[in-house]
Amino acid sequence: MAHSLPNIADRSVVLGLSGGVDSAVAAILLKDANAKVQALHMTNWEDDDGYCTSAEDLQDARHVCEQLEIPLHHVNFSRQYRDRVFEYFLDEYRAGRTPNPDVLCNREIKFGVFRDYAKRLGGELLATGHYARTATIDGVPTLLKGADPDKDQSYFLHAISADAIGETIFPLGNLVKEEVRQVARDRGIAIHDKKDSTGICFIGERPFREFLSTYLAANPGPIRSLSGRELGQHSGLMYYTLGQRQGLGIGGRNDANELPWYVVEKVIEDNALIVDQGESPWLYSDSLLASDASWIAGPPAGLDSGRQLSVRIRYRQNDQACTVKNLGNQQLEVVFDAPQRAVAPGQFAVFYEGDVCLGGAVIDRILSRPNVDNPINAAAST
């Protein structure tokens, strides 16, 4: 079981302790490395309806710290989270896109205000329970994929700065999940079998549509086929993402075959949801436009004329070969070697070279689809 850490003996490390098994094992490994560990538990959402587990997580964090004899600090970043992450989340849905607020949470909160607070506690280094690794390559702090391909979280970390990476330890980077749980079991940590948290904390297990509708007014509109035929009504474009199959309410039609319907486009100006049946060619994209590009160690060489890299357009996707070209103003053109399914504006395109995570950008729109006309032109009229 390989979980060696750099030489951090007697160095002051502030660990983000969530109350889950991952950060608990990170604490164990830091203690084993003889670091001077302090734990810092964040509250990022003040919930009053029982869906978010923040109170339970805080209690679990306290029990871990008592068992490991680590001091625990508790800080409330709810205001910063609402201002820097949640407002972005709402703006993106308002625009009909599918955001990934976890990326902003890492950049703005965990490696932003949290990092600043950790330094005020005297922390030389920051640690978290993320499945990722760091290295110094040619004198530059570098983010690497985690050793466990099923848990690698470099996708969510791509927007943090090189300075932050240089001051961060990821104790779980060389472990797979079952090894982490085994460490917790061996050390008698009560939460060794605690269920992994999924999704966004402020949503928790609550119905997503119900949650979103409390902040944004739904705007129902037509569901149309590619030919412009109206098939039904959608509840609001914000509730759907490209490639979605469930929840359309248009199956079993007498005037169509039995193949499933998928969302293939949103026409914002007409408030129309465009669908097609089966593995439609409109589900696939040859290229995309991305904006707000951020590079951990600066833009890679060769982007102005196009650079061959690998990309992920969603978490847990295998790396996909592509050519990335800098268009200026932090905009990128990404051309895939092979067509990609269900490219969703609002998500992130994250770029890699081998195990090195280089950075990423927000997916703005699909530029081309293989061997088809633009579905917006085909579907915008009734």
- How buried is 376 (Cβ within 10 angstroms: 0-12 exposed, 13-18 middle, 19+ buried)? middle
Residue 105: active-site member: yes
Strands 140-145 and 356-368 turn out to be antiparallel
Phi, psi dihedrals of residue 326, rounded to the nearest 5°: -80, 125
Half-sphere exposure of 9 (CA within 13 A, CB side): 2
The separation between CA 65 and the C-alpha centre of its own chain, rounded to angstroms, equals 28
Q: CA 121 to CA 12: how far, in whole Å?
A: 9
**Tokens 């098994």, located at residue:** 21
- Count CB atoms within 10 A of the CB of residue 316: 11
For 203, 238, 260, 349, 359, the CA distances from 88, given in Å and listed in that order, are 15, 14, 33, 17, 20
Give the strand pairing for 230-234 and 140-145.
unpaired
The residue behind tokens 């357009």 is: 313
Cβ–Cβ contacts within 10 Å for residue 252, how many? 7
Burial (Cβ within 10 Å: 0-12, 13-18, ≥19) of residue 64: buried
How many whole angstroms separate alpha carbon 172 and alpha carbon 128?
A: 9
* Contacts by 251-258, CB closer than 8 A, 24 or more apart: none
Positive or negative: CA dihedral 263, 325, 101, 16 = positive
The tokens describing 331, both together, are 């905009």
Q: Which helix (H) or strand (E) holds 80?
A: helix 78-81
The residue among 263, 280, 268, 279 whose CA lies nearest residue 224 is 263
Dihedral sign, Cα of residue 84, residue 87, residue 90, residue 95 = negative
Kindly state the DSSP code that residue 380 receives in the 8-state scheme: S
- Residue in 65, 105, 322, 357 annotated catalytic: 105
65 included as an active-site residue: no
Residue type, 79: R
Catalytic residues: 105, 201
